[in-house]
Chains A and B, each alone.
Chain A
């Protein structure tokens, strides 16, 4: 009996060691490239050519200055452009998805079921498959090199809608809506002043996700923006890749990459718990 017990404990110990080893390996695998990015952004071009280093060197500020003031890749402008596009998209997508979800959740009207089924059915259609028509439409309306075609479509985001709908189902008591009606609040005010505050957690999570996906978005913006002062960050990063590589100051290149991912990294470091919690909501439950 004692023998079996010790054997079981040994087994558990070994399993634990193996599991932690796997976890540490995956952690290293995940962090290695980003660690190298940070280290290499502190080294000058000459130092980078000289060989591998595991510890930072002293050229971080030089690289930052060079990257920030680069003549061909205007990264501060790119970051501002990305901020405008991603910020506006995040606000519009959450507000209108919540509004749509509320409209379908609370009211009974003809075609409600169809509207819901329709949104669910188109949820999985990727945006790339309508890109040809979308680009043509923008060309016809003279909307290339404008942020509007990157911002406005975010009003209709089926995935965000689905998340909001599920959230409303779990938190919104209908009595509250009724009470507001009795108090004479009009429906629009009820939504803005009573329902939106209740939905704050869902809105916050979805704002982060839509900000991030818009900040990282490359395919459609690259097809629509070709004026230097309108370019967003991912387009500039891709431009780095297509530029004559050998002429580049590598310290600067690493700094560009670091600047491109830094805003999202900072948000993530502060809010990772809430973000991870938000991943599971809005998908299938077991």
Chain B
């Protein structure tokens, strides 16, 4: 009896400190490597701080000037950030819409007991593979394959599908198409696997009773699968949006950082990267970062709410 009491007492007093000890490394590193840099980024966005040739300008406090510049038309009459945000959205939509449609379709196929698809392990392994491939290398590969002297052009010409060389990198449509295709290939397998897990989590009895009631495959899909899949669909779409907002490696390498042709495939992060590398304009880079932070923060909130709802259940 006495023994138990000392044990509980000891537990009550001393174990809490271990909780702190175990989580301290995470928080120290997070604060140093993410939180402080985030605050610094915010701070820098109010300063004029750039390289002009060999001369360093600033850092001087300029208030909201960087933000005003960011949202003002440049000498061609375009508002850069809006254009690049638009590009990012277009590139994302072109890749994400087919990605979601195909993934949903495949998830339904794979989980259907009626269809009973063979070789699922193989198909899943193949469609997930591009997700793990280095985006920079994948993009470089597309660049070589689709170049004017590359195998795609050779194939098109030797098979008579094209009578002259197609310059895939000279047209907005084809460059955007290639970026969207790469993003599609890299992510549809991942989405399929997530949606499959979602469908398999649905109570099988629901499908069974619907079938006994004579519901068509389409009706089951529209009335049972999709509504019950909503939470995971929201998660998938929003995380894909956050991923799309960060789109960088693929268009950067494919267009060598210039978003050719005519900056129509320049994304938000490429724009940020340009401020950090070519002009060393940390003030403007800070302002672009804060815009990105706000957009991803709003999207992140939605994910957070979905996840914590699940956590309470």
Contacts and interface: CB of A to CB of B under 8 A. Distances in A.
A68 interface: no
Contacts of B126: 26-27, 30-31
B137 A134 contact: no
B44 A30 contact: no
Of B132, B139, B199, B296, chain A has the most CB atoms within 10 Å of the CB of: B132
A257 B141 contact: yes
Contacts of A128: 246, 248, 269, 272, 289, 292
A285 B198 contact: yes
Interface stretch (A58-66, A198-206, A234-242): A234-242
Contact of A107 (B22, B147, B286, B290): B22
A283 B149 CA distance: 43
A234 B37 contact: no
A31 B123 CA distance: 11
A253 B33 contact: no
A121 B296 contact: no
Interface string B146-157: 010101001100
Contacts of A194: none
A33 to B, nearest CB: 6
Interface stretch (B67-75, B85-93, B207-215, B229-237): B229-237
A3 interface: no
Contact of A156 (B33, B144, B202): B33
Contacts of A103: 18-23
Contacts of A257: 137, 140-141, 144
Interface in A233-286: 233-234, 237-238, 240-242, 245, 250, 253-254, 257, 260-261, 264-265, 268, 272-273, 275-276, 279-280, 283-286
Contacts, number: 317
B304 interface: yes
A182 B149 CA distance: 72
Contacts of A191: 22
Nearest to A120: B304
B292 A126 contact: yes
Contact of B136 (A33, A216, A283): A216
A36 interface: yes
B256 A242 contact: yes
A285 B232 contact: yes
A46 interface: no
Interface stretch (B50-58, B160-168, B305-313): B305-313
A interface residue count range (under 10 / 10 to 19 / 20 to 34 / 35 or more): 35 or more
Interface in A74-113: 96-97, 99-100, 102-104, 106-110, 112
A10 interface: no
A125 B16 CA distance: 30
Contacts of A34: 129, 133, 141
Contacts of A276: 124-125, 128, 193
Given A15-B115, A124-B304, A238-B136, A132 B26 contact: no
B77 interface: no
Interface string A212-247: 100110110001000000000110011011100100
B289 A219 contact: no
A11 B132 CA distance: 37
A153 to B, nearest CB: 4
Contacts of A130: 34, 37-38, 40-41, 289, 293
Contact of A131 (B16, B22, B193, B272): B272
B185 interface: yes
A172 interface: no
A19 B115 contact: yes
A115 B185 CA distance: 37
B246 to A, nearest CB: 5
Given A120-B308, A279-B194, A284-B232, A100 B296 contact: no
B276 A223 contact: yes
Interface string B10-35: 01000111111111011101100110
Contacts of A284: 198, 231-232, 234-235, 306-307, 310
A256 to B, nearest CB: 8
Given A104-B23, A130-B38, 4 more contacts: A122-B34, A131-B37, A233-B137, A279-B193
Interface of A: 12, 15-16, 19-20, 22-23, 26-27, 29-31, 33-34, 36-37, 40, 49, 51-52, 96-97, 99-100, 102-104, 106-110, 112, 115, 119-137, 149, 152-153, 155-156, 161-162, 181-182, 187-188, 191, 212, 215-216, 218-219, 223, 233-234, 237-238, 240-242, 245, 250, 253-254, 257, 260-261, 264-265, 268, 272-273, 275-276, 279-280, 283-286
9 contacts: A26-B102, A37-B141, A96-B25, A100-B23, A123-B307, A133-B37, A161-B26, A223-B276, A284-B307
